[in-house]
Structure 1
Amino acid sequence: MFGWKKTPHIRTLIGEGTVVQGEVRFTDGLRIDGEVVGNIVATGDKRTMLVISEKAKVTGKVRAGHVIINGLVTGPVESEDLLELQPKARIVGDVKYEALEMHQGATIDGELHPMKAEDKPALKLASNNG
């Protein structure tokens, strides 16, 4: 799906109860269950994965290839490939995306911008019925 040959491995975990202050840079995959106060930036190609769980809270800019959010992000979000907003996702900030999947219940308090304005982005509407 979306040209990926395989999903990157989650190699790093910021666990529940952990607070990180400062910029976080990662390759491959990162899962956040705790809190990050600072930017989260994937390095390398766009085949990176960032998971922000239901328990997570991020204050700062978020940028990665495949971004899955089910927690709170206060700051801009940029997904270079696929942005998945799960039902409990809350974003306060502008969002840039290549493709967007947004489940019922997710909220964005900001503007949505496709990465390539001249191309129509893939938009998939999800429901709880499936």
Structure 2
Amino acid sequence: MKNKKQLDKLDTVIGVSTTMEGSIQTEGSIRIEGKVIGEINCTGDLTVGIDGVVEANIRARNIIVAGIVTGDVQASGTLHIEEKGKLQGNAQMDSFVIDQGGIFEGQSNMGKASGHSSEKKMEVVAE
């Protein structure tokens, strides 16, 4: 995870042994290594670590998925699904990166953040 658009400043870490239920709202960046159920609104970057499990709708600047996300996501910047990451849900983002081995199941809508829109219906399973 050495992406230049990655976390400017990490404000919150949800550890591997932690489960949270409810709504998370933060103006900073967040890393999830545990489990979150509910809704996440983050004006910074959000990273779901390899051990992270998220069952929530997510809004963030950049979203990096190395673990498992079930829910709709909206990134004003980049959505990046890493090689062990899995996203099941609809996605809206300005740019989209899926590493080999990453899994995306849902519909994507790219370009909303920059004023362009091109809806893509896709299921990607790269192994």
TM-score range, shorter chain: 0.7 to 0.9
Q: How many angstroms apart in 2 are the aligned matches of 1:120 and 1:63?
A: 18
Which of 92, 95, 102 is the matching residue for 2:98? 102
Match of 1:12 in 2: 12
Question: Structure 1 CA distance, aligned partners of 2:47 and 2:76?
Answer: 14
Answer 1 or 2: which has greater strand percent.
Answer: 2
Q: Which amino acid aligns with 2:11?
A: R
> Deviations along 1:69-88, whole A, 9 cap, x unmatched?
10111100111111111001
User: Which stretches in structure 2 are left out of the alignment for 5+ residues?
Assistant: 119-127
Between the two proteins, what is the percent identity of the paired residues?
Answer: 26
**1:71-110 aligned within 5 A:** 71-110=67-106
| Contact 2:5–2:62 under 8 Å retained in 1 | no
Equivalent pairs counted in the alignment come to 114
> What is the TM-score with the length of structure 2 in the denominator?
0.81
- 1:51-79 deviations in Å (ceiling 9; x for gaps): 10010000010110011110111100111
What root-mean-square deviation, in Å, do the aligned CA atoms of Structure 1 and Structure 2 show? 2.2
Query: Equivalent residue for 1:58?
Result: 54
- Structure 1 residue runs of 5 or longer lacking an equivalent are 122-130
